[in-house]
Structure 1
Amino acid sequence: MAPNPQCAALAAAKDKKGLSYAQIAEKIGQSEAHVVDVCTGKIQPTQDEFNALARALDITQSPPSDSAHKTK
């Protein structure tokens, strides 16, 4: 079973779109492991990765300014 995203909005968007981490990874041109690490907060995404993830999941609201939403 894949781990849940650290961000509640990300988890909801992932569930709403019905995408697996592998499918998200394919959409943004990253490995599945990298997407899991970003979504679970293990690593911080670059701004470009963050934006690509938001586009892939149709997230249009700005993220909150907290530690779970920092980019490199």
Structure 2
Amino acid sequence: MSPDPRCSALKSAMEKQGLDYAGLGKKIGKSEKHVEDICTGASRPTDAEFNALSEALGISNVPHTGVHSTV
């Protein structure tokens, strides 16, 4: 079983859309492992990845600080 995302809004959006890390990865053109690493905080997304994840999940107005920071 994959670990939950660090962000509760991200977890909720993934559940609402019926997506797991693999499905989200397909939507943004990244591997399941890379998406999991971003969502669990093991790695930081680039601005482009952050925006692609937000768009794929229909999330807007997300801060780029704390657990939402990018590289």
TM-score band, normalised by shorter chain: over 0.9
Q: Is the 8 A contact 2:22 2:32 kept in 1?
A: yes
Give 5+ residue unaligned stretches, structure 2: none
RMSD (CA atoms): 1.0
> Deviations 1:40-67 (Å, cap 9, x if unpaired)?
011110000000001111112x223532
Identity across the alignment (%): 51
Give 5+ residue unaligned stretches, structure 1: none
- Tell me, in whole angstroms, the C-alpha distance in 1 between the residues paired with 2:49 and 2:64: 17
Q: Please, what TM-score do these two structures have when normalized by structure 1?
A: 0.92
Which runs of structure 2 are paired with 1:56-67 in the superposition (5 Å)? 56-60=56-60, 62-64=61-63, 66-67=65-66
Q: Which runs of 4+ in 1 moved over 6 A?
A: none
Aligned length: 71
